[in-house]
Amino acid sequence: MPTRHLGEPRRKACRLDGLLFYSVKPIEEARLKHNSVSGQRRRGAGYATKIHGELAELAFLFKAASLGIAVAKPYGDSLPYDFMVQCGQRLLRIQVKSVFTNGTGNHRYSYSVPVSRRPLRRRVTYSRDEIDFITAFVAPHDAWYVIPVDAVLDRKFIHLYPGGKKRVDGGAYEKYREAWHLLTGNPNELPTTEDSSLRSE
């Protein structure tokens, strides 16, 4: 067992997308700390959102690479997409969205995910000229949704139900869960939600 030097923060094991690693600030502790009122006052209300966005991008990079999808990150953050992926001869622009908190009340079974951007403090929907896919990461369920931009052109938020839907009219986007084959164009290349390993527990 590795020794810990005096004054070194105690590390805890974290699991993200099936990968076990050690971190000084586990995801859940970081979320609680940065979402706290005192943390928001010190760092600004958008700090936790930025941290979550960076974690989701790291998770996407690992997930896509583990499936054999080539991933490139553009320089800077002025473009409307986060990644470019190459699948054979296809080059696709990917925007990564995420949610790290559980819903409450009437929304405790669903997760609200923004599928829009906020350049000047007002939300603007994405267009086909800007991105090709939105990949949404629901961290509490370690679940990914690969959604074509055509499916959210008129939406600013969508609701996802990785733990099962209670509403009869809910779950319109569940068909996109783990739909990585939409990136490759070949449904036989990659696992889908029919695989038992990808079903929610």
Domains of the chain by residue range: 12-198
Q: Are 146 and 180 in contact (CB under 8 A)?
A: yes
Measured at the CA of 62, the angle between CA 9 and CA 98, to 5 degrees, comes to 80
Q: Tens digits of per-residue pLDDT, 158-171?
A: 999 988 876 665 68
Question: Considering the entire predicted model, what is its pTM?
Answer: 0.69
pLDDT value, residue 22: 42
Greatest alpha-carbon span in the chain:
56
Give the bridge partners for 93, in sequence order: 84
Give 24-33 contacts, CB < 8 A, sequence gap 24+. Answer: 27/55, 27/100, 27/139, 31/100, 31/101
Whether 175 shows a pLDDT value over 60: the answer reads yes
Q: Tens digits of per-residue pLDDT, 87-145?
A: 888 899 999 999 998 765 555 678 999 999 877 778 899 999 999 999 999 999 999 99
Domain at 12-198, CATH from 3.90.1280.10, 3.20.20.70, 3.90.1300.10, 3.40.1350.10: 3.40.1350.10
Task: Of 158, 105, 109, give the one whose Cα is nearest residue 134.
Answer: 158
Token reading at 62: 């690992």
C-beta neighbour count of 156 within 10 angstroms: 15
